[in-house]
């Protein structure tokens, strides 16, 4: 019964936030990954259901610390609602979820659900100023690398800023193709991969976490190159149509394959388990 009340309360609070996210954020190419992140977090909790049930059976509700965290989360939520700051509204759910679990089942439950809760960070909309500041150099870097690789493959390509010109076509590298949000999404994919494979070697996990950044960059380069080549061979309509939308899935697949490759290479030097 406690779990039902807890879930119902969080859903009531989340309903207006979800509406705002759908209208303002989740409908965009740049930050449309939010529902996927939430779905994955729920799947992770379901995957741990036996462990969570065992912890719930020996629940020791938290004390003052849980109530203070609840008050902190509610304060952030209220500020977000009053000022219409979606990032605050969504961000408030991390301390609210932690506090609700701690007050109902204790800190042991929080530790058992730590990764799914942490994973929700990637569903929080990034502040526009930060996105704009980081995205421009990222796009220039991705555009430059894509141009150089295709030029060395003897394609008639040139670049002006973030505009790639190949044959009679010009392509603007958009934020969704090579910006901070796409790299943020790939970071989430990388951490999910690390959690699933479950390496116990701290060094290998640390190296994987660090290498997720260049892997994300390379996946964005591959995505841009695919769009450029499709446009060059099949025309602008093909490049901006279904293939452009499908390129988001290509980004995930390329990122996953690169992570598998990097992990395999690391395995040659660093074992998956720490030696005792």
Query: At a CB cut-off of 8 Å and minimum separation 6, what does 242 contact?
Result: none
CA distances from 211 to 10, 205, 217 (A): 35, 10, 10
With vertex at residue 189, the alpha carbon angle to CA 143 and CA 45, rounded to the nearest 5 degrees, is: 160
Contact present, 150 and 166 (Cβ < 8 Å): yes
Place of tokens 């290498």: 211
The reply to whether 223 belongs to the active site is yes
3-state secondary structure of 157: strand
Considering the candidates 48, 53, 159, 223, report the single residue annotated as catalytic: 223
The full length of the chain comes to 276
The reply to whether 218 belongs to the active site is no
3-state secondary structure of 106: coil
Strand extents, DSSP E, 110-162: 157-160
Considering the candidates 140, 177, 204, 264, report the single residue annotated as catalytic: 177
Contact present, 154 and 204 (Cβ < 8 Å): no
Nearest to residue 122, comparing CAs of 216, 202, 212, 186?
186
What residues are annotated to the active site?
Answer: 177, 223
């Amino acid at each position: 019964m406690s779990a039902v009340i807890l879930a119902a309360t969080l859903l009531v609070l989340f309903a207006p936030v979800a509406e705002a996210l759908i209208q303002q954020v989740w409908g965009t190419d740049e930050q449309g990954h939010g529902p996927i992140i939430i779905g994955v977090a729920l799947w992770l909790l379901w995957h741990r259901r036996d462990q969570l049930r065992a912890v719930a059976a020996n629940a020791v509700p938290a004390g003052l610390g849980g109530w203070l965290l609840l008050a902190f989360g509610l304060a952030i939520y209220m500020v977000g609602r009053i000022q219409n700051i979606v990032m605050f509204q969504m961000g408030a759910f991390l301390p609210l979820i932690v506090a609700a679990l701690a007050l109902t089942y204790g800190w042991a439950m929080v530790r058992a659900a730590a990764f799914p809760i942490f994973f929700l960070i990637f569903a929080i909309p990034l502040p526009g100023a930060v996105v704009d500041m980081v995205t421009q150099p990222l796009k220039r870097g991705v555009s430059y690398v894509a141009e150089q690789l295709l030029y060395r493959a003897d394609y008639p390509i040139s670049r002006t800023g973030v505009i790639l010109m190949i044959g009679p076509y010009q392509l603007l590298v958009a934020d969704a193709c090579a910006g901070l949000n796409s790299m943020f999404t790939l970071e989430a994919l990388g951490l999910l991969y690390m959690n699933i494979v479950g390496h116990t070697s701290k060094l290998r996990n640390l190296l994987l976490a660090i290498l997720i950044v260049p892997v994300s960059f390379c996946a964005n380069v591959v995505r841009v190159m695919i769009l450029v080549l499709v446009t060059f061979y099949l025309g602008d309509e093909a490049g901006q149509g279904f293939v452009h939308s499908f390129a988001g899935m290509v980004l995930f697949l390329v990122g996953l394959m690169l992570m598998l490759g990097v992990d395999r290479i690391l395995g040659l030097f660093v074992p998956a388990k720490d030696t005792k």
